Amino acid sequence: MPKLHVVVGSTRPGRLGLPIGQWAAQAAKEHAGFDVELADLAELGLPLLDEPGHPRAGLYAHEHTRRWSATVDEADAFVFVTPEYNSGPPAALLNALSFLYGEWLYKPVGFVSYGGVAAGLRSVQVLKQVATALKMMPIPESVAIPFVFKHMGEGGFRTDAPLEAAATMMLDELLRWTEALRPLRLNPPPAPAAPPAPGAPVSRV
Ligand SMILES: Cc1cc2nc3c(=O)[nH]c(=O)nc-3n(C[C@H](O)[C@H](O)[C@H](O)COP(=O)(O)O)c2cc1C
């Protein structure tokens, strides 16, 4: 079975991202198309990007990067669970994306977003742009949760039928893309012959 990592993109104490991520991981387990794991950025504790080399070289100076690299590398697909902060993505999620390159290639990603009236969708729009620079495939089917506080109760996150239906649609499509992109994941472009020197510009084209 393909491996799906549900990435909790917010890290602050008391974040809603954790119960929502746990719900998304549970929905993915019940979907039964993936081998599912929760990847919690707060638990991972990455510092702000502190690697001297460009991630395309895949040569990492720090143990925290090697750990994150191994986690992302083993996944075939992702669900990013994201709030929006000031109409954009949380810094922790952008930072975690920037740490790596080859580990993201040709992997599809679905989004579970939440917030006020905009349901976190402005964050998703930015994340889609960044994801395509990493040759990921951001899929259109998503779960968007407006007025998220209405879904929070004593027992944590309260789902409902429309959210469950949206999660199923997203996971069905994510599985199709995961399978369709497998040949590309098995045949990635060659790594750069020599790692770029720290600070050297790296062309993407
Ligand atoms: C720094 C900050 C900026 C926020 N900006 C937005 C925003 O632009 N749009 C929105 O709908 N909610 C915004 N909110 C409210 C969040 O939707 C709400 O706090 C949510 O719980 C944040 O996700 P988290 O609990 O996983 O951190 C903001 C919250 C914080 C802490």
* 71-95 pLDDT tens trace: 999 999 999 999 999 999 999 999 9
CATH class of the domain whose range is 3-186: alpha beta
What is the residue type of 130? Answer: V
Determine which helix (DSSP H) or strand (DSSP E) holds 97, and give its type and residue range.
helix 91-98
Name the residue of 86, 87, 127, 150 to mutate for ligand 1: max ligand atoms within 8 A of Cβ.
Answer: 86
The closest alpha carbon to 120, from 93, 95, 89, 161, belongs to 89
- Domain assignments of the chain as residue spans, ordered by start: 3-186
Interval between CA 203 and ligand 1 midpoint (Å): 35
Prediction pTM value: 0.94
> How do residues 56-72 score in pLDDT, each as one tens digit?
999 999 999 999 999 99
Q: Please state, in angstroms and rounded to a whole number, the distance separating the CA atoms of residues 188 and 200.
A: 23
Query: Does ligand 1 have an atom closer than 6 angstroms to the CB of 185?
Result: no
Joined together, the tokens standing for residue 58 give 């895949």
Q: pLDDT at position 199, please?
A: 65
Q: Running DSSP on this structure, what letter comes out for residue 62?
A: S
Sign of CA dihedral 168, 21, 143, 37: negative
Sign of CA dihedral 33, 2, 9, 137: negative
